[in-house]
Amino acid sequence: MANVVVVGSQWGDEGKGKIVDWLSERADIVARFQGGHNAGHTLVIDGKVYKLSLLPSGVVRDGKLAVIGNGVVIDPWALQEEIDAVKAQGVEITNERLRIAENATLILPLHQELDALREKAAGKGKIGTTKRGIGPAYEDKVGRRAIRAMDLLNLKALPAKIERLLTHHNALRRGLGEPELSVDDVLNPLEKIAPMIGPYVEPVWQLLDNQRRAGKRILFEGAQGVLLDVDHGTYPFVTSSHTVSAQAASGCGIGPTAIDYVLGITKAYTTRVGMGPFPTELENEIGQRLGERGHEFGTVTGRQRRCGWFDACLVRQTIKVAGITGIALTKLDVLDGFEELKICTGYQIEGQIYDHLPASEDLQAGVEPVYETLQGWSQSTQGARSWAHLPAEAIKYVRRVEELIEAPVALLSTSPERDDTILVHDPFED
């Protein structure tokens, strides 16, 4: 019985929601291991659409345990809103269905304020943050002054911890010309939300260890994509956490030996939200067509995504740094009707050919993609559930992708509907 990690192999928005939901039927537990409510999943189940940001995808399925790991930063008010929204859609959320790591860091209103103030002050140098306080919360975590989920269970000890936190934040606020905060400004909202979030809090590392030893299948769910990893992404235009598969272990409190298969969700073309380099971006009619056909708008922000051809060079790189075993190729149907398709196989920078994207921001700015052209197809692939239902050119495209990224396709998605999936290899049977 394998335990599976799901990560995005690009800049996020690869269609992880559908694939995680598809896999969650085979899992007993779905555990979220990093990020915050700055990334979302859209699930379509029996015609009903669920939009999740903090809640693991398995939470909408009966008999599944959803876990929010210690690697996640949690806005408790956003989480409560999400729980209420899911409940309104007929899903009952109890502590039998949802658990939160006691040592997960909380996002507070002061983090969101700081996030917005910094972006405004940065001007042209802004990163493109969603202003949800993710980065400042992670800063407090590594600065050893964070308020954590377990603190909601012991409100008497909170004032001293908040004082320590405000020693740092009030200094920042003074520097930015903002009024200082009192302990009560931070404490009062936490006292109100504590009874709603507290019942879900427990030592998740222990829970997962017990479940794993009992032979339960665990699906570890990441947010965003490997190219937004704080170390391995397109720095500084990255998120504030580790989005690689190794984070599934440290972000849930398990050892790396518990991971058996890493599935990289990979879109059949490339998209990106916000600022930063994008070698294959198409700022033309083709890019617009990809965006319209793929409905490329962010689940959380609603921002329009930048679109471009498939970048095999980048995906090959993320497969290596994230230890991806196989990929789930999504949105193949969006490519229907193109006379020809291009795949980026490498880069040219100042006359030199690169087989990877250099880490240097200066070199990234001068990247020119090297393309390979393939014949497109006119037939529809939408809803295909077997190789026999795919045009020959579409199969050639998939096979060429496999060759270039040096990893096999385990699943192939041909529409947002969960059953429109071609299973090549079941990750849970690895």
Active-site residue set: 13, 41
Helix (H) or strand (E) holding 307: strand 306-308
* DSSP structural state of residue 5: E
The DSSP bridge pattern shows strands 41-45 and 29-32 to be unpaired
The end-to-end CA distance of the chain, in Å, is: 8
Residue 424: C-alpha distances to residues 19, 327, 339 (Å): 14, 10, 27
Torsion angles phi and psi, residue 399, rounded to 5:
-65, -35
| E-strand stretches of 350-424 | 352-354, 368-375, 409-413, 421-423
Q: How far is Cα 31 from Cα 419, in angstroms, rounded to an integer?
A: 22
Sheet with 65-68, side-by-side order of all strands = 201-202, 98-101, 65-68, 29-32, 218-221, 4-8, 261-267, 326-330, 409-413, 421-423
H/E/C letters for each residue in 243-298? CCCCHHHHCCCCCHHHCCEEEEEEECCEEECCCCCCCCECCCHHHHHHHHHCCCEC
Q: Can you spell out the DSSP letters for 41-91?
A: EEEEETTEEEEESSS-GGGGSTT-EEEE-TTBEE-HHHHHHHHHHHHHTT-
Contact criterion met (CB below 8 Å) for 162 and 60: no
Q: How far is Cα 27 from Cα 64, in angstroms, rounded to an integer?
A: 8
Q: How far is Cα 274 from Cα 181, in angstroms, rounded to an integer?
A: 31
Listed in sequence order, the residues at least 6 apart from 245 whose beta carbon sits closer than 8 Å to its beta carbon are 5, 7, 220, 222, 259, 262, 322, 323, 324
Q: How many CB atoms neighbour CB 15 within 10 A?
A: 21
Cis peptide before 416 (omega within 30 of 0): no
Task: Provide the Cα torsion 174, 179, 183, 185; round to 10°.
Answer: -140
